[in-house]
Structure 1
Amino acid sequence: MLELFGYSLSYTSVALLFLVAFFIGMAKTGVHGISMFAVPLLALIFGGKASSGVMLPMLILADLFAVKYYHRHANWHYLIKLFPSAALGVLIGTWLGNVIDDQVFRTVMSVIIFASLAIMLWMEKGDKESIPDYLWFALLMGLLGGITTMIGNLAGSVMALYLLSMRLPKNEYIGTAAWFFLAINVFKVPFHIFSWQSIDLNSFMLSFISLPFIAIGAWSGIHIVKRIQEKHYRWLVIGMTGVASILMLI
């Protein structure tokens, strides 16, 4: 066993922690879906709510790498629409996290993502020039994104559905998502500290020591995405979103 910042962790647990950090780095720089393995792995080590507190600083560190590389590609037209309702979603998610069973929440969200994914696939076969750039749609996706990112860090699939529906090119998709998650993850920090009490100095330091593995993952993600063609990347995201929604039911 290793004693790290007040945590007694086995060597296997430490290895899994660093593997999670690597996955998060890859996911934030464009290898969408790989982070779906991070949430259950970290929960296996620390438990549900505690793992979300360990993961949040890791996500923010990875967001910084993504923003640094893709910041010029962000589409602020969509971000401005998403931020207000996403902030409200974080507030709702903070409350829900104290009153709802985690598995019930994951089941409901899985159904919502499946339904949204079905709609998006239907759109793929329709008029590809038609973009559902409606304010109500952005507000709904922002709200769901805020709720899901607060409870279980599950907003990746929701944002993937929205940004793919806007038919953003590969780099613009990654850059817009990077700015969205950096802003909303920083916004979440006080709620984790003061409401859920899932982040303290010890948990933060445990997250921080994973920085080298986040960096390696981010570097790997950038180079992998460069080799994926635009049309193939879009279907990669769609496929991984479907897998993620299935894993939520497990």
Structure 2
Amino acid sequence: MAAGAVIIGFSKTSFGGVAAIAVAVFAWGMPAKESTATVLLLLLVGDVVAVSRYRTVSWALLLRLLPSVLPGLALGALFMSVVDDVVMRRTIGGLLVVMVLLQLWQRRRRDSPHETAAMPALASADEASPQRLSPTPRWGRAVLTGGAAGFATMTANAAGPVMALYFLASRVDKARFIGTNAWFFFLVNLSKTPFTVGLGLYSPTNLTLVALLIPAVLLGTLAGVWVIGKVTQRQFEVVTITASGLASLALLLR
């Protein structure tokens, strides 16, 4: 669990896709529904650090996305209220598989000659980028993205790749990519908390566990800040996609 908490913190200040590994670790080590509630609070700890550090934000993108997230959250909460723990664990595994496939598709798309020149590289959040933003994606795409992200994050805390696709399609520069992503998940995770409380997923046991794991999350955020300037996006994606795929298969086959 401590390793999963470190990964959560690391994902918040560096490459968000690696959080899928932590989702699988917690879902494997405790009841699946309770794991989503525990991970949510740990994610919020990392969110606070991320929004404090990365302040370059595209509010126009957020305003397009956030209204459609709420229906997705509500649908996810309804789903969680009617399924048992086995189905929930399989759902988390299945969603992680979908997220891995999205990451692979995103990687292939970025490797094409047409996309390579325009894609933002997440090498360092503190570097200024001269990259020009392209027109914001249409409302239809924003609605679909927000709804899918809301359901995925409510049921599996696994909306990172969905949002990465949306932000990359918006051609945001790397500083704005990280900052907007940080604020999106901070606001969404706050919105998820009442749904999670309403489902009765918090208990003295997992609240105590969260308190004990907060230092591990903070350690992970420091590691993420250091690593983000040391490795390339391409190198890290190989590890992230492989680890996420193995984690999702472990949940599906358990």
TM bin (shorter chain):
0.7 to 0.9
Cα deviation per residue 1:68-114 (whole Å; 9 max; x = unaligned)? 111x2121121111101111110011011233533256436734763
* Percent pairwise identity: 28
**SS of the residue 2:16 aligns to:** coil
User: Is 1:18 aligned to residue 5 of structure 2?
Assistant: no
Conserved in 2, the CA contact under 8 Å of 1:21 and 1:213?
Answer: yes
1:175 to 153, 156, 179: 179
Structure 2: tracts of 5 or more residues without a match: 119-133
TM-score normalised to structure 2 length: 0.78
- In the alignment, the residues of structure 2 paired with residue 37 and residue 116 of structure 1 have an alpha-carbon distance, to the nearest angstrom, of 14
- In the alignment, the residues of structure 2 paired with residue 133 and residue 235 of structure 1 have an alpha-carbon distance, to the nearest angstrom, of 28
Alignment of 1:97-112 (within 5 A): 97-100=80-83, 101-102=87-88, 103-104=90-91, 106-107=93-94, 110-111=97-98
Alignment of 1:65-214 (within 5 A): 65-70=49-54, 72-100=55-83, 101-102=87-88, 103-104=90-91, 106-107=93-94, 110-111=97-98, 114=101, 117-118=104-105, 121-122=108-109, 124-125=111-112, 127-128=114-115, 133-194=137-198, 196-214=199-217
TM-score normalised to structure 1 length: 0.80
- Name the Cα RMSD after superposition: 2.7
Partner letter of residue 8 of structure 2?
I
Structure 1: tracts of 5 or more residues without a match: 1-16
> Aligned residue for 1:218?
221
> Aligned residue for 1:240?
240
Conserved in 2, the CA contact under 8 Å of 1:157 and 1:241?
Answer: no
- In the alignment, the residues of structure 1 paired with residue 135 and residue 236 of structure 2 have an alpha-carbon distance, to the nearest angstrom, of 20
> Aligned residue for 1:32?
16
- In the alignment, the residues of structure 1 paired with residue 229 and residue 26 of structure 2 have an alpha-carbon distance, to the nearest angstrom, of 29
- In the alignment, the residues of structure 2 paired with residue 185 and residue 171 of structure 1 have an alpha-carbon distance, to the nearest angstrom, of 21
How many residues are paired up?
229
* Larger CA deviation: 175-184 vs 156-165: 156-165
Conserved in 1, the CA contact under 8 Å of 2:106 and 2:165?
Answer: no
